[in-house]
Amino acid sequence: MKKLILIFSVLLFQFNYSFANDEVIESLKEGNKLIFIRHALAPGNGDPENFELQNCSTQRNLDDRGIQQSKRIGLIFKKNEIKIDKIYSSEWCRCKDTAKYAFNDFKTFDALNSFYDIRFAANEDKQIKDFYEFIDNIDSKNNIVFVTHYVVIGAILNIGTSSGEIVVTDKNLNIIGSIDTL
């Protein structure tokens, strides 16, 4: 009996998870959404002491699993024929690589940069203000993608995200749902 309950619970979870993903995908097909993607798997935490923005070899970067995860993110959009107007990425290499492997074409946007490290913490207020001004001026009916960091998504949406997680909002930043790509 316990085994049957366990199997039923797992199936129910998978059904609900799949249904939730289907609802998020359908909302993306309608367009006019903001899509926040936390960079894919990059082992470690924070940035090394010798971090240089223009030198990827000094940064925490995607590993092979992160590269594959980034490609899966892109496949979600391609397979479901989700239209995207523009893709913006943090200037950090792990975000740019996530955007590159998922979508190929992107622009960097410094308001999406991490402020996790004490060296960048003073940038938070300005970056968030710049981001809000940017979305207030979006003149597109299509989806816009932002590839960024845990702290940025947390500051804007007040939620935590896992590596490679896709969070979908309307233009007023009301969360519609998320897709975990692990």
DSSP 12: H
Calpha distance 101→166 (Å, rounded)? 15
Q: Structure tokens of 123?
A: 């940038």
Residues 74-111 pLDDT 10s: 999 999 999 999 999 999 999 999 999 999 999 999 99
Element (H, E) at 107: strand 107-108
CB 127 within 8 A of CB 110: yes
CB atoms within 10 A of CB 19: 10
Residue 2's pLDDT is 46
Q: Report DSSP state, residue 143.
A: E
The pLDDT of residue 97: 98
Note the pLDDT of residue 19: 39
The pLDDT tens digits of the residues spanning 141-176 come to: 999 999 999 999 999 999 999 999 999 999 999 999
Domain boundaries, the chain: 2-179
Mean pLDDT of 38-56: 93
Query: Comparing 16-20, 52-56, 134-138, which segment has the lowest mean pLDDT?
Result: 16-20
Kindly tell me if the per-residue pLDDT of 44 is higher than 70: yes
Mean pLDDT across 37-42: 98
Instruction: Report pLDDT for 17.
Output: 35
The tens digit of pLDDT for each residue in 4-31 reads: 443 433 333 333 333 358 899 999 999 9
The pLDDT value recorded for residue 64 is 98
Residue 29 amino acid letter: K
Rg of the chain, C-alpha, whole Å:
17
Sequence-distant (6+) residues with CB within 8 A of 179 are 21, 24, 25, 76, 165, 166, 168
Quick one: fold of 2-179?
Rossmann fold (3.40.50)
Q: Rounded to whole angstroms, how far apart are CA atoms 90 and 144?
A: 14
Give the model's pLDDT for residue 20.
55
Q: Of 45 and 67, which is predicted with more confidence? A: 67
User: Can you give the pLDDT at residue 155?
Assistant: 97
